[in-house]
Structure 1
Amino acid sequence: MRFVEGGLSDLSVSRTSFDWGVPVPDSPGHVMYVWVDALTNYLTGAGYPNDAETMARFWPADLHLIGKDITRFHTVYWPAFLMSANLPLPKQVSFGQDGSYSAEAIVTRVNAELANSFGNLAQRTLSFIAKNLDGALPEAGRSDPADAMLIEEMVIACAGLRTAFDDLMLSQGIEAWMRGVFACNQYIDAQAPWALRKTDPDRMHAVLGTLVRAIRMLAIAILPVVPQSAGKVLDQLGADERDHAAIDDDGWYGRQQAAGFTIAPPSPVFPRLELPAAAA
């Protein structure tokens, strides 16, 4: 606000004091001002100027999330650039906070939360079904209150992710989702379907069916974060409906079962990462 209150003046879109950058057509010695070049990437990423169909789908952006300390460029310069080109402005601009990144942190979280927790949960559940039930979806079996309790925890975890994401609290949303993953791992360890296979097959079916439902719900919820890997989990389940509303589709399992869907022996979806040599 202080910058605007101080009065606005014309801004040159080119520079001549250095030669690195995008050359200005028909203007020798001029390169594009870096913020013109950088901010325009939002448009070209949305299909501008050659892909009108994609542009119409993604622009104007419903939300433009920016980081700290670059507010002037995104809230003064960027709207001015768009208005000068007769292009619509983003519908909403919100400001983020500082983040931290390190290769070690990424490797640690991927291995702990995806490979070891969610990936291992899906792999051992679906592998067990493929091996011991010839891939057929488990029957209803003998239910237990723990089954409905787990599904309710999935509903809460997925809703927590959605609510947090709507409020742009991405880390908190993923933490809510991870609580669902941890609940599933606690459930499978407590129920031990590998032991039930010999002692109580009816109960084993109920446990495995509950886990299939839970894994599908978790995979749909995390799809916007890891679309390729979560999509592979859903492929293994034959789950075609993948919007957030599909999480609450209680009839999905019965339809898959009635259609005779079978689970093929799965391949691991979340391989463990190794720390890059330069960061080790």
Structure 2
Amino acid sequence: CISRPKSRLSWGIDLPFDQDYVTYVWFDALVNYISGIGYRTDEASFQRWWPASCHLIGKDILTTHTVYWPCMLMALGLEQPKSIFAHGWWLSQGSKVSKTAMNGQALQSKPANPMDMIDKYGVDALRYYLMSAMSLGQDTEFSEENFILKFNSDLANDLGNLCSRAVKMLEKNFDSVLPPASEPGADEAALLAACRNAAKAMRHGIEHMQLDRGIAEVIAAVREGNRYFDSQKPWTLAKEGKLEKLASILRHTAECLRIVSGLLYPVMPEKMRQLRMQLGMGEEKLSPVMEKLSQWNYLDDGVRLPRLEAPVFPRIEVKKEKPAAAAKQAPAKTSAPIGENLVDIEDFAKLSLRTAEVIKAERVEGADRLLCLQVRLGEEERQIVAGIAEFYAPEDLLGKLVVIVANLKPRELRGLLSQGMLLAAKRGKKLSLITCDQPFVSGASVG
């Protein structure tokens, strides 16, 4: 039915062929998709923009867009949209965040308002949280506490910290002049692989409505940048006067920052513009070109970087309220672990957990419990020595997609270099590797 009687609905657009009825609101609303781009008024514009590549809608109006709208288009003889994607809801205290909830409830029961975060923390910070915390299609809980945890972990501790350390060392040791490009070597292999995997994952995430996964891989590249920076110990090189090696490390770190700032530019345009200017990039290069984000040594040699006056992402400090004095009482029973077993979310965020495909496995000679595995993380290959020979035969592991700690310091076992650690569940004499329950890409972040 495309109409409603005026006896039931006094407002609305009159039906042209029956003055006792008005147009059903959804019939009128859906027509705007085509009338707004020139249907029957501007044929050139209409042909340019229709059919839509994607209708991005809320899940509560899925029926109108997948039942009513296709029927209307078929009746008009027009093409269907190429895709229709229904996103989930943002929830606060388990309820949908909406203007109605914001305006109609008592103050103490109102859900958190994401728009309040703009005034407190900036629009780019909110954009990052909204796009990185939600898996499109699923409902996600919004809270200021979760917002601050993610901001501090991903942006302040990881991205902002890497930028500050690199820029300050360039200022101190090279008068803020960017060193000339040098060819990456074995030390930079993991860094290049992480950056290229991030570019590939971000493109895939944008094309398949999986922005959170793409962003997660970009942050994984940032963490690899921090691991690379720490492992090369540039502060020691500066003290020892090894400026050529120091220059190479800082240049490679700057290239990592260029790539991740380009990949995050659509998410945080103002902040990433600021970061790219901090790398000495001119106005003509501030807006990234996707193809350039898979290339290395794209920054201009010898450019002078502006002075870093303040962190790009200053950490959000939360004031802890002092507990009110209370009468002595017996401690409440709790099943949660206490004491030194508890860790902060920031500590957990330091771990880089990645999926890895086992491409080769063999026993370690003279070691009954050890297997030597070759695993693939995206474009990178690594060797891991694991004490799982009692539980798995080498041939049973080939092709398995396991989960590893990818940023663990390498160590030598029985003369073999181990570059990570497998995750497994163990109880008594039983052990089971942590694997993916469906086909997935290697090198993806876990967490």
**TM-score, normalised to structure 2's length?**
0.48
Residue 84 of structure 2 corresponds to 93
Q: Which has the higher helix share?
A: 1
Residue 103 of structure 1 corresponds to 143
Cα distance change of structure 1 residues 192 and 103 upon mapping to structure 2, 3 Å threshold? same
Cα distance change of structure 1 residues 34 and 149 upon mapping to structure 2, 3 Å threshold? same
Matched, 1:268 2:259: no
Residue 56 of structure 2 corresponds to 65
Matched, 1:182 2:223: yes
- Please say if residues 65 and 93 of structure 1, whose CA atoms lie closer than 8 Å, have aligned partners that are also in contact: yes
Q: How far apart are 1:73 and its partner, in Å?
A: 1.6
Residue 217 of structure 1 corresponds to 259
Matched, 1:139 2:185: no
Q: How far apart are 1:55 and its partner, in Å?
A: 8.7
- Please say if residues 182 and 248 of structure 2, whose CA atoms lie closer than 8 Å, have aligned partners that are also in contact: yes
Question: Over alpha carbons, which structure has the higher Rg?
Answer: 2
* Count of paired positions: 259
| 1:141-160 alignment runs, 5 A limit | 144-160=185-201
Q: How far apart are 1:91 and its partner, in Å?
A: 2.6
Q: How far apart are 1:229 and its partner, in Å?
A: 1.8
User: Which residue identity is paired with 2:154?
Assistant: E
Residue 77 of structure 1 corresponds to 68
User: Which residue identity is paired with 1:245?
Assistant: E
Mark the runs of 5 or more structure 1 residues left unpaired by the alignment: 1-9, 276-280
Q: How far apart are 1:224 and its partner, in Å?
A: 2.3
Cα distance change of structure 1 residues 79 and 252 upon mapping to structure 2, 3 Å threshold? same
| 1:11-26 alignment runs, 5 A limit | 11-12=2-3
- Please say if residues 61 and 90 of structure 1, whose CA atoms lie closer than 8 Å, have aligned partners that are also in contact: yes
Q: Is the partner of 1:70 in helix, strand or coil?
A: helix
Q: Is the partner of 1:118 in helix, strand or coil?
A: helix
Matched, 1:232 2:223: no
User: Which residue identity is paired with 1:62?
Assistant: S
- Please say if residues 15 and 33 of structure 1, whose CA atoms lie closer than 8 Å, have aligned partners that are also in contact: no
Give me the whole-angstrom Cα distance separating, in 2, the residues matched to 1:171 and 1:32.
40
- Please say if residues 14 and 33 of structure 1, whose CA atoms lie closer than 8 Å, have aligned partners that are also in contact: no
| RMSD over equivalenced CA pairs, Å | 4.1
Mark the runs of 5 or more structure 2 residues left unpaired by the alignment: 15-20, 88-136, 319-447
Cα distance change of structure 1 residues 171 and 206 upon mapping to structure 2, 3 Å threshold? same
Report percent identity of matched pairs: 30
**TM-score, normalised to structure 1's length?**
0.71
Give me the whole-angstrom Cα distance separating, in 1, the residues matched to 2:5 and 2:166.
59
